[in-house]
A = this chain, B = another copy of it.
Amino acid sequence: MPNATWTITQTDFSPENHKAYEGLFTLGSGALHIRGALEEPIAAAPQNLHYWRLPGNVTSEVFREQRSKVGTFVPGVYGSHPLLNDELINLPNPLLIVPIVAGEQFDLDGSRTETHTRTLDLKTGLLTRTFTWRTKAGPDLRITHERFVSMARPRVLAQRCSIEVDAPTDLVLRTGIDATVTTNGFSHTQSVTASATCPHTSVDLQTDAGDRVRIDGRLVSPEATTTTSAPGMPEGGAWLATSVRLAASAPVVVERFVTIATSRDTRDRMGTDCNQAAEMGFDALLAESVEAWSARWSACDVRVEGDPHAQLALRTSLFHLFRAHPGEDDRVAIDAKGYAGEAYWGRFFWDTEMYLLPFYLYTEPARGKVLTDFRLRSLGGARRNAASLGLPGAKFAWESNPAGDECCPNWHYADHEIHISADVVFGIAHADAAHPGAGYLEGAAELVFDVARYWMARTATRSGDDHPSLLGVMGPDEYTPLEDNNAYTNALAAFALRTAAGLAERRGDARGERDAWRRTADTLPIPRRGALVLQSEGFDNLPAADFAARWTDRDRPFAGQVPQEYLYRTRCPKQADVLMLMWLFPRQFTLEEQRAAWDYYVPITTHDSSLSPAIHGLMACRLGLPDEAWRFWKQACDIDLRGGAAEGIHIAACAATWQMAILGFAGLELANNTETLTLTPRLPAGWSALEFPIVWRGSPLTIRVTRADVTITSRAETEIQTMIAGTPHTIAPGRPTTIALATGTSR
């Protein structure tokens, strides 16, 4: 019986739920990611369907209706899609192990199958699949597939297939690499060579962007089998055919080892070649990988007592957060789908700073730095984006490729959803506050100044106004395009300008520019009506969307039930906008203002974005609304577990789940708001304890929150000042310190 808080088990299979499990069961190592596709094709769920606009349809985007999509992704390997701009390339599929008995090729959708189970062990990253195949020829085969991507050798995939039979039969296993995979209907392959020379298979391809990708596979089969090269099945792949006479008494086990090397690799090829991996064997490779996973879990695991579902949801999020981070490679960040699908085209959004960064900053700071360093590296692209709009400085892309260039093909996001440039500065400033002395801000001075220059040029003063404005912007609420003075955008832009001014001052730069920055920061307006902060000028006058009449199925997004045109002329925010602003800047708004915003925006917000519920949950915690907090936690915590992962993992929502547990329920204040470790626990009713490690301004700690007390174990070298539920305490290094919540005394 697998541990319910460490494993995800799938016992049902249907073509309808299959794609969601493919996404959810994505394995990865930071440098290689493989969706949880089956080992064999499903005839009724073809791959490589075309991306196409519906005839007569006037919208700009049609999602693919495939029921299955294999996925093999190496962060940084991008190509140019003729309609969608640069995208992460879906590389050849190296997974295939296809059993054939008496001419019948196993197909999970068509063959007679029993007790089909797949299990992902979150602790080890091992995906196991078992089933019984009742062949047409008669014999029943019991087949077990295991696979993992090595966390220790990040370009290595290992597979093991074990087959038992109840009566003697001849079996053929076709194994190999399929190089016909397309990305969003488009092939990025410029040229490809596939070869199979027993026991080796390999595919060597050149992408349309000029990268070389080499995939090597090696099969290890027992001596009883006969393996032959099987060129050209299907075309554009490398294939071996293994024949074996199965006896009832003797299970057959084959192992496969795959390595992927690309011209982006800086080290000598990839560190481990396929033959080395084969020599180590499946078990030894697995043991080594499990050890690497183990280090990640001990640095980050969040333990929830009393709520196994919350525990599993959190660990699922952490699993993908471990996997999706690119390690030391700051030439990329974490794409919107966590390298687990083709949607959002492998691009980097504001998710990076606002959702993902806090998790890494407070658990594995070096990984946080990789994300901010990515922005520094891609500053050239941001400058190109500004120049393309005739503006000075740097404008970060709403949808960034690794070089920082804007790739969003929709003008209203690309040109007008400009808060991203301030979000990047906010992220760097947050990192600087979380790890003082590490020089985050100083190291990013060029970026910070160029973003400030962009904001100065983007502001304008209207006739009759005595203050600058940001006109024609899209805030976080993407259902209200082209707002004037969006509160979130203005406040973030002001923050970016003040950050630049402060940095210039500390560096002793000349006054002229920095004074202007500060002046603009101080005069950009936050629209208000009484205590209510308005999302933008006139937002409160917009007619409210008619949810009662038009949102008939509350389980599906509002946007799927009304046309875009209706969204764009009514009040129905897609996600937290003013509340997002207040979440980030608690000191800028009174509690009365925050409560007024909550009362006003919550009833009209659709939460059509997966980024929305967790922020609302965090605000509910802050405002002391436990029922609301719990409602939003339930919406936020298991989006992918609940079948949402078909197009990839909602990786920002994974990180937001962590935020809601740590910053919401444990009530940790972020380092950019306080220098004192501050906790205001508000555990959900069903949780008896919450325990997690964090790094607070360089000091590693473990925090355990129960309903009665908070226990902090510090591995820091010096004492740490804390504020627990409003009372100050000093935590000495070494032994655990427990502070009772009711009395506030430490023991």
Contacts and interface: CB of A to CB of B under 8 A. Distances in A.
Contact of A52 (B53, B82, B409, B562): B82
Contacts of A465: 541
Interface in A529-583: 538, 540-544, 550, 562-566, 568-570
A264 interface: no
A542 B60 contact: no
A543 B58 contact: no
Contact of A563 (B58, B388, B461, B464): B388
A248 interface: no
A471 B569 contact: yes
A542 B388 contact: no
Contacts of A671: none
Contacts of A570: 460
Contacts of A569: 460, 471-472
Contacts of A460: 543, 569-570
Contacts of A564: 411, 415
B541 A415 contact: no
Nearest to A465: B541
A540 B406 contact: no
Contact of A562 (B390, B410, B472): B390
B482 A416 contact: no
Interface in A381-416: 388-390, 405-412, 414-416
Nearest to A85: B56
Nearest to A385: B58
Interface in A480-499: 481-482, 484
Nearest to A481: B482
Given A461-B543, A472-B568, A415 B563 contact: yes
A266 interface: no
Contacts of A56: 80, 85-86, 405-407
A3 to B, nearest CB: 48
A1 B543 CA distance: 68
Contact of A543 (B462, B481, B482, B563): B462
Given A482-B568, A543-B462, A565-B415, A406 B58 contact: yes
A103 interface: no
B543 A471 contact: yes
A472 B568 CA distance: 7
Given A55-B85, A416-B565, A563-B389, A411 B462 contact: no
A564 B390 CA distance: 11
A544 B414 CA distance: 23
A59 interface: yes
A463 interface: yes
A463 B540 contact: yes
A83 interface: yes
A581 B408 CA distance: 36
A144 B58 CA distance: 48
B541 A389 contact: no
A462 B542 contact: yes
A359 B83 CA distance: 41
A568 to B, nearest CB: 5
Nearest to A57: B85
B86 A83 contact: no
A390 B541 contact: no
A566 B415 CA distance: 9
Contacts of A471: 542-543, 569
Given A55-B85, A407-B56, A409-B58, A565 B482 contact: no
B566 A389 contact: yes
Most-contacted residue by chain B among A58, A544, A564 (CB, 10 A): A58
A463 B543 contact: yes
Interface in A82-133: 82-83, 85-86
Contacts of A541: 462-465
Nearest to A459: B543
A59 B407 contact: no
A406 B410 CA distance: 19
Interface string A46-67: 0000001101111110000000
Nearest to A571: B463
Nearest to A52: B82
A537 B415 CA distance: 23
Contacts of A563: 388-390, 415
Contacts of A472: 565, 568-569
B409 A53 contact: yes
Most-contacted residue by chain B among A407, A416, A482 (CB, 10 A): A482
A55 B52 CA distance: 18
Given A482-B568, A569-B472, A60 B58 contact: no
A389 B565 contact: yes
A462 to B, nearest CB: 4
B80 A83 contact: no
Contacts of A482: 481-482, 568
Contacts of A538: 484
Nearest to A414: B58
Nearest to A472: B569
Contacts of A410: 58, 60
A202 to B, nearest CB: 30
Contacts of A414: 58
A403 to B, nearest CB: 9
A672 to B, nearest CB: 31
A736 to B, nearest CB: 54
A58 B411 contact: yes
Nearest to A570: B460
Contacts of A543: 460-463, 471
Contacts of A85: 53, 55-58
Interface string A432-462: 0000000000000000000000000000111
A80 B56 CA distance: 8
Given A58-B407, A60-B409, A389-B565, 7 more contacts: A52-B82, A53-B83, A83-B83, A411-B564, A462-B543, A472-B565, A482-B568
29 contacts: A53-B82, A53-B409, A55-B82, A55-B85, A56-B80, A56-B405, A56-B407, A57-B85, A58-B406, A58-B407, A58-B414, A389-B563, A389-B565, A390-B550, A390-B562, A390-B563, A412-B412, A415-B565, A416-B568, A460-B569, A461-B543, A462-B542, A463-B540, A463-B541, A463-B543, A465-B541, A471-B543, A472-B568, A481-B482
Interface of A: 52-53, 55-60, 80, 82-83, 85-86, 388-390, 405-412, 414-416, 460-465, 471-472, 481-482, 484, 538, 540-544, 550, 562-566, 568-570
Shortest 8 CB-CB contacts between residues of A and residues of B:
A472-B569, A415-B565, A460-B543, A462-B541, A58-B414, A55-B80, A471-B569, A389-B563
